[in-house]
Chain A
Amino acid sequence: MLSEKAVVEINQIKGRYHDAQSSLLPTLYVVQREHGWLSPDAVEAVGDLLNVPKAAVKGVSTFYSMFRHKPMGRHLIQLCTNVACMIMGAERLVDILKSRYGLKPNSTTEDGRFSLVIMECIGACGTAPAMLVDTDFHDNLTEQGIVDILENYK
């Protein structure tokens, strides 16, 4: 299920903690990076690797909104619509994504290019509105700007 590389990395991670379960979140990140999401098999594999009951791993992974439990598009757009971004026009950006790419929150475009997740505050309120595309920050977004930026993600 997990690649050699992932297992090696996970064992390194274990080394940073006094008990195996503490390495659960970082481990889930490794697996999510590798597969794009946390499939039931992946969750089970993590449980075996860390000797944590698989049901517990599921309970933990579904508690955190940044772990994905269904496959995602090639690029993940995490757009903040919390108050600061909202009053600076984030809601219009949501409409744009819909009209331009047919992309609704918590969904993926037909071509599997983008997935959109609405975020609570991502700490860019001073340069709102803002979003994360994969792991890149983009702020001071405008209606035209967001499209230009996304065009760089194929």
Chain B
Amino acid sequence: MEKFLLKNIDNPNSKDVNEYIKTEGYKAISKALELKPSDIIDEVRRSGLRGRGGAGFPTGMKWSFAAADPKKPKFILCNADEGEPGTFKDRPILEKNPHLLIEGMIISGYALQAEYGYIYLRGEYPRAKDILKDAIKQAHDKGYLGDNILGKGIRFHLHVHQGAGAYICGEETALIESLEGKRGQPRIKPPFPVNEGFLSKPTVVNNVETLANIPYIMEIGAEAYSKIGSPDCPGPKLYSVSGHVKNPGVYELPMGTTLRDIIYAHCGGIRDNKKLKAVIPGGISTPILSPDKIDCPMDFVNMPKHGSMLGSGAVMVFDETVDLAKVCLRAMKFFEHESCGKCTPCREGVGWMRAILERICNGSGNEKDIELLTEVSKNIIGKTFCPLGDGAASVVQSFIKDFRQEFEQHISKEAGKEIKAAA
């Protein structure tokens, strides 16, 4: 299918505003500004677009909540924290197609009657920061941003705000806290950001990819858009594929493309023709899948039916050589490091799981450890303040469920040694 989100990224100057305009860029704005804000929201609702940040929340609905709140000013925040390990799908938009995002934000701003937008960009993308700043300046000079957009008296100001290395700040309320210059710990919900977000004002937080879809919807219309990919969560989707495939990278495919197609048809299969051992389909906080599950369509609706989640669409492919216990341990180290520390189960429990896994991996674990690990994960799941802790625990559970032997190996290996020593 023709690319939209990754349109002309092969063009080395794609980030330049004129290049963007050459390929129909900023057309959608003029189109949108003809419509009433409420019509745009309605269009987005009918398009069936669902948030690409991971939760898959219907974007049109989120917008209508914020639009309905009388408080002013309103804010639109772009979530460019892209912290989910395995995910690098937003990066090409940010670095190669920044004007697509900016255009999407301007339209969103107008639709929401929000005069201020911030792009919360992860600190780990220093290059994207400079690119976005330049792009914003260009857009300004062209009259797409500012106090009188395209002479229509519409106001929208956009700034880049750089995070500083905290995965939790991808969570929308933590993101808002962080933007307010506080420790990035999640807030109690309700109230939801759409009513009390940034500086307690109505705030919409959307993922980069979500916002990048807006111009497309404006361009081809809700009808056409809703026919792309899975019926109940349509649209183009960016899948970032990493690990042992021949051609890793970011792929723009219709939502609902199966894992198998992604891995074999698009990424050329497993490299060195090794065997596929496992796949993490949606970023490290989504449950790991065994090869027998890869025929499931990668979308918000079908993945849960197969025991995992679409998450950020970050497909991590492991061939037969990979030691999954070590992968699990590394994942836990990540969650322990990134826990914001607010709630007990995540702060204390995740570290505990890491410790047990460490034990197992360095060969000093025993049979009971796998049960203990399961116990601890049970005490975390469903009891944490935000999904981070839950994610960590469900990951461990999924590893144990489908790949128990990977852990047992380390344990019995050790046992075996002991016997030799005894002899």
Q: A83-B330, A123-B124, A135-B127 are in contact. Are A28 and B179 (CB under 8 A)?
A: no
Contact check, A122 vs B124: say whether CB atoms are below 8 A apart.
Answer: yes
Chain B residues within 8 Å of chain A by Cβ, number = 54
Hey, what's the 0/1 contact readout for B183-219 against A, CB within 8 Å counting as 1?
Answer: 1100000000000000100000000000000000000
Contact, CB under 8 Å: B330 / A125: no
- Mark each residue of chain A from 40 to 61: 1 if its CB lies under 8 Å from any CB of chain B, else 0: 0000000000101000100110
- Is the Cβ of B162 less than 8 Å from the Cβ of A29? yes
A123–B122 touching, CB < 8 Å? yes
From residue 249 to 279 of chain B, which have CB atoms closer than 8 A to chain A? 249-250
> Which residue of A18, A25, A84 is within 8 Å of B85 (Cβ)?
A84
In the complex, what's the smallest C-beta–C-beta distance from B239 to chain A, in angstroms? Answer: 11
Cα distance A121–B165 when bound, in Å? 10
Query: B412 → chain A, closest Cβ, in Å?
Result: 23
B248 surroundings in chain A (CB, below 8 A): 125-127
Among A25, A87, A125, which residue has its beta carbon within 8 angstroms of that of B327?
A87
Contact B85 A121, beta carbon cutoff 8 Å:
yes
Neighbouring A residues of B22 by C-beta, 8 Å = none
A2-10, A62-70, A94-102 - the one binding chain B: A62-70
Q: Give, as a whole number of angstroms, the nearest-CB distance from B243 to chain A.
A: 6
Query: Complex Cα distance A78/B122, Å?
Result: 14
| A127 (CB) vs chain B CBs: closest residue | B248
Q: Name the residue on B nearest A122 (C-beta).
A: B124
Chain A residues lying within 8 Å of B162, measured Cβ to Cβ, are 25-26, 29
B165 & A66 in contact (Cβ 8 Å cutoff) = yes
Instruction: Enumerate chain A residues within 8 angstroms of B178, measured Cβ to Cβ.
Output: 25
Q: Which residue of A lies closest to B126 (CB)?
A: A135
A141: interface (CB < 8 Å): no
The stretch from B38-46, B314-322, B365-373 touching chain A is B314-322
Further pairs besides A25-B161, A64-B166: 20, Cβ < 8 Å: A24-B181, A25-B164, A60-B181, A64-B164, A65-B164, A65-B337, A66-B123, A82-B284, A83-B85, A83-B327, A83-B330, A84-B316, A88-B243, A120-B165, A123-B87, A125-B87, A125-B88, A132-B124, A135-B126, A137-B127
**Can you show 13 pairs from A to B with CB atoms below 8 A apart?**
A25-B162, A29-B162, A59-B183, A66-B124, A67-B164, A82-B284, A83-B280, A83-B316, A84-B85, A119-B165, A120-B337, A125-B88, A125-B243
Residues of B that sit less than 8 Å from A by CB:
73, 82-88, 91, 116, 122-127, 159, 161-167, 178-184, 199, 240-244, 248-250, 280, 284, 314, 316, 318, 322, 326-327, 330-331, 334, 337-338, 340
List residues of chain A with CB under 8 Å of any chain B CB: 16, 18-19, 21-26, 28-29, 50, 52, 56, 59-60, 63-67, 78, 81-84, 86-88, 119-128, 132, 135, 137
